[in-house]
C-alpha cells in the first residue's frame, strides 16, 4: 500500500499569478478554471475585501487581478486602490455594467457578467501589456 501524503495547495512559481476576487462560489470556481486554462495560476477566490488584502499580502508577485465589484454588498474599491498603488493591473467583473464604476476607475477594463474565456483572455492580455 502506498503512503498517503497531504497535498499542500501552493501556487506554481512558473505561471503568472492572477488574483480572483469573487463572492459567488460557483463563479469563483469557474474563474479558477478559466484562469488555469489560459496558463495562469489562480490565487483565491476571496469573497471580501479583507480576505483579498490577505491574499495580496501573502502573494506579492501577483501579475493581475479580476475583481467582482460588489462582494455581498461591500464594494471592492479599496482593494482596487491598493492594487493600483502596487502597480498590479486589474479587471472589474460586474453584472451591472460600467455605470456603477467610480470615475477614478473610468479607464479600467470592465467585463460584463457573464463573459467567456475568450473575453477574459483578451482583457488579461490588454491589461498585462500596458
Total number of domains in the chain: 1
User: Would you say residue 8 lies in a domain?
Assistant: no
The reported pLDDT for the residue numbered 97 is 75
Beta-carbon contacts of 61 under 8 Å, excluding residues fewer than 6 positions away, are 17
User: Would you say residue 3 lies in a domain?
Assistant: no
The reported pLDDT for the residue numbered 6 is 39
> 460588489: which residue's cell?
70
Rounded to the nearest integer, the mean pLDDT of the chain is: 89
pTM: 0.87
Mean pLDDT by 10 residues, the chain (130 residues): 42 82 96 97 96 94 96 94 95 86 93 95 93
CATH number at residue 114: 3.40.50.2300
Helix H or strand E segment including 45: strand 41-46
User: Would you say residue 115 lies in a domain?
Assistant: yes
Backbone angles phi, psi at 29, to 5 degrees: -65, -40
User: Would you say residue 63 lies in a domain?
Assistant: yes
| Nearest by Cα to 60 from 85, 78, 84, 86 | 86
Please give the distance of CA 17 from its chain centroid, rounded to a whole number.
Answer: 9
The reported pLDDT for the residue numbered 30 is 96
pLDDT (tens digit per residue) in 20-58: 999 999 999 999 999 999 999 999 999 999 999 999 999
User: Would you say residue 49 lies in a domain?
Assistant: yes
Burial 52-69 (b: 16+ CB within 10 A, else e): beebbeeeeebbbbbbbb
Paired strand residues for 70: 75
Amino acid at each position: 500500500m502506498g503512503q498517503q501524503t497531504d497535498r499542500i495547495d501552493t501556487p506554481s512559481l512558473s505561471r503568472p499569478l492572477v488574483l480572483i476576487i469573487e463572492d459567488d462560489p460557483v463563479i469563483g470556481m469557474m474563474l479558477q478554471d478559466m484562469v488555469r486554462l489560459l496558463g495562469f495560476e489562480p490565487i483565491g477566490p476571496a469573497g471580501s475585501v479583507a480576505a483579498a488584502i490577505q491574499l495580496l499580502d501573502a502573494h506579492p508577485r501577483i501579475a493581475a487581478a479580476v475583481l467582482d465589484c460588489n462582494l455581498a454588498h461591500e464594494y471592492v474599491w479599496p482593494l482596487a486602490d491598493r492594487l493600483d498603488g502596487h502597480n498590479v493591473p486589474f479587471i472589474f467583473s460586474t453584472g451591472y455594467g460600467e455605470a456603477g464604476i467610480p470615475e477614478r476607475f473610468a479607464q479600467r477594463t470592465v467585463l460584463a457578467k457573464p463573459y467567456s474565456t475568450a473575453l477574459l483572455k483578451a482583457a488579461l492580455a490588454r491589461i498585462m501589456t500596458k
